[in-house]
């Protein structure tokens, strides 16, 4: 039951993100150009951008870059030359459905 609620919340968050993106593009298309753009065309541009964003968000994997062996203390020049540099790990994740 909890997993179902979490899935629905995630879907609602994504839907909100896509609608917000479409509204931002609609507002920008309405107020930025010097020439008057028809309302129907503005809505089509906003819907196209929102759908494109949704497709890219669902298809492209999320990438997280993590650095191992992180240190909080300052490193002197002699220490930095003797110590090996930490490895950078890149992990790709499948999109959440």
Whole-number pLDDT of residue 71 = 55
What is the spatial distance between Cα 59 and Cα 94, in angstroms, rounded to a whole number? 8
- Render pLDDT for 11-37 as a digit per residue (tens, 0 to 9): 899 899 999 999 999 999 999 999 999
In this prediction, residue 9 has a pLDDT band, given cuts at 50, 70 and 90, of confident
In this prediction, residue 6 has a pLDDT band, given cuts at 50, 70 and 90, of confident
Whole-number pLDDT of residue 76 = 59
- Render pLDDT for 53-86 as a digit per residue (tens, 0 to 9): 999 888 876 666 666 665 555 555 555 555 565 5
What is the spatial distance between Cα 12 and Cα 15, in angstroms, rounded to a whole number? 5
**Token pair recorded at residue 47:** 């819907």
Residue 89 three-state SS: strand
**CA proximity to 39, closest of 28, 48, 26:** 26
């Amino acid at each position: 039951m909890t997993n179902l609620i979490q899935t629905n919340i995630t879907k609602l968050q994504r839907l909100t993100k896509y609608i917000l993106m479409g509204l931002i593009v609609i507002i920008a298309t309405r107020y930025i150009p010097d020439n008057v753009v028809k309302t129907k065309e503005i809505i089509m541009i906003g819907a196209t951008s929102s759908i494109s964003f949704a497709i890219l968000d669902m298809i492209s994997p999320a990438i997280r870059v993590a650095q191992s062996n992180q240190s909080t203390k300052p490193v002197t020049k002699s220490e930095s030359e003797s110590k090996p540099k930490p490895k950078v790990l890149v992990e790709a994740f499948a999109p959440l459905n």
